[in-house]
Structure 1
Amino acid sequence: MSSPDVDGTQGKRLRPGRTNATRQKLFEASMELIGERGAANVTVDEIAAAAGVSKGTVYYNFGSKSELIGQLLRHGVDIMLGRLKDIEDSVGDPLESMAEMIGQAIDFMDDYPSFARLWVSENWRTPSEWQDTFAELRAELLAVVGSAVAKVADAYAVDASINRGSLETAIFGAIFVVGLDRQTYNQERTREQSVAAVMASMHGYVVR
């Protein structure tokens, strides 16, 4: 799948020469700096220095800070999607698979906490220069959640009065809120407790 435009206009595409290793370094450096100070307060020079590459390398491959952040949002979601789809493609009880998928999403936020904070802080900001990027990436993540919910509905009797789209959105939002709350305020909470809290919606959806 090709990378999206980053600002709803004609954002440049990631050049073929960009290696995954360099992109990963830029992703980790950018997310750490942005997590500390916010996207508006981080310069390309600082990102390049933290990643161990030249400022010219950043501009050559991305063109601007806005495009860089847009592409790194894409990179972060690709990492998360890879983890979730490994679970989605597995065979087993759909409720157990969904719990493991939620656990993988929380693990991702543990690994990249600044990405999760950027996602929450910018995703609902209007206007946002990355609004179109967020909309596309959000749709991709919701599609994976929706597929998992559909498998549960195929395997179990479920409450038909619950709107499927609202349920998927509730689960998606809860993953970020519960994950960030655990990181910021309640680090003593375990992964299992966090997963169980998000899964409460699914257990309410299933008719026992």
Structure 2
Amino acid sequence: MSRQDTRMKVFAAAIELIAEQGYSATTVDAIAERAGVAKGTVFYNFGSKEALFGALLEHSIGMLADALAEAAVGETALEALDSVVLGQLSFFEEYGSFARVLLGEMWRTAWQEAVAQLRTRALGVYADVLRRAAAAGEVRADLDVETAATAVFGMVLTVSIERRVLHPERPLAQTHATLVELLHGRVR
């Protein structure tokens, strides 16, 4: 098994455990056991639990930002916004544990670098699309795009978790349609 494969197994185990029981309660022993590797392997690859979590956040935020950027397409900026919302919903459908960790764990002071990366890369996709929409006259010209980007991202994150936990039978398309209707009503 390559070092990259080992890191991905450890990331998967860590994200699941942290989503289930929280960062503080998750031990390196439990992560290693769930990943099927020796505890020393975790330390060899990451150095510490804190470094593992930091690397996990960096990796996961990078994947999320790439998915959002890839989704940001449409004939109009509002269509691109709708596509980014669907891209985020779809990402969290696939990576639900990361959604729970993102909501519950990463706002600690220790992870400010990850928060900055999230703001720049993931929320930046929303802000760019909203800037384009404002420039094209599709949304209010005076829209505070940074705050709006954070609000939309947070709304989609929260709804993604709520849907997975309380309404897994609800079609993703229905959730997307509701969010888009809310957004169009507010940003115009």
Asked if TM exceeds 0.5, the reply is: yes
Call closer, same or farther: CA 1:202–1:25 in 2, change over 3 Å.
Answer: farther
Contact 1:167 1:201 in 2 (8 A): no
Q: Distance in 2 between matches of 1:188 and 1:91?
A: 28
* Unpaired stretches in structure 2, ≥5 consecutive residues: none
For 2:101, which of 108, 118, 121 is the aligned residue? Answer: 118
Q: Which runs of 4+ in 1 moved over 4 A?
A: none
Deviates more, 1:71-80 or 1:181-190: 181-190
Q: Distance in 2 between matches of 1:103 and 1:71?
A: 26
Q: Deviation per CA, 1:150-195: give whole Å up to 9, x if none.
A: 2222333422343222211211111111111111222233212322
The residue aligned with 1:145 is: 126
Q: Distance in 1 between matches of 2:104 and 2:157?
A: 11
How do residues 120-139 of structure 1 correspond to structure 2 at under 5 angstroms? Answer: 120-125=103-108, 128-139=109-120
For 1:46, which of 30, 37, 47 is the aligned residue? Answer: 30
The residue aligned with 1:80 is: 64
Q: Deviation per CA, 1:112-135: give whole Å up to 9, x if none.
A: 21211111112444xx32233223
Higher RCO (CA < 8 A, seq sep 6+)? 1
Contact 1:84 1:105 in 2 (8 A): yes
* Aligned residue-pair number: 186
For 2:84, which of 95, 101, 110 is the aligned residue? Answer: 101
Whether 2:47 is the aligned partner of 1:63: answer: yes
* Unpaired stretches in structure 1, ≥5 consecutive residues: 1-16
Q: State the secondary structure of the residue aligned to 2:10.
A: helix
Contact 1:48 1:55 in 2 (8 A): yes
Deviates more, 1:25-34 or 1:185-194: 185-194
Name the TM-score, length of structure 1 as normaliser: 0.80
Whether 2:149 is the aligned partner of 1:168: answer: yes
Whichever residue aligns with residue 32 of structure 1, its letter is E
Call closer, same or farther: CA 1:157–1:118 in 2, change over 3 Å.
Answer: closer
Q: Distance in 1 between matches of 2:170 and 2:59?
A: 28
Q: Distance in 1 between matches of 2:49 and 2:93?
A: 25
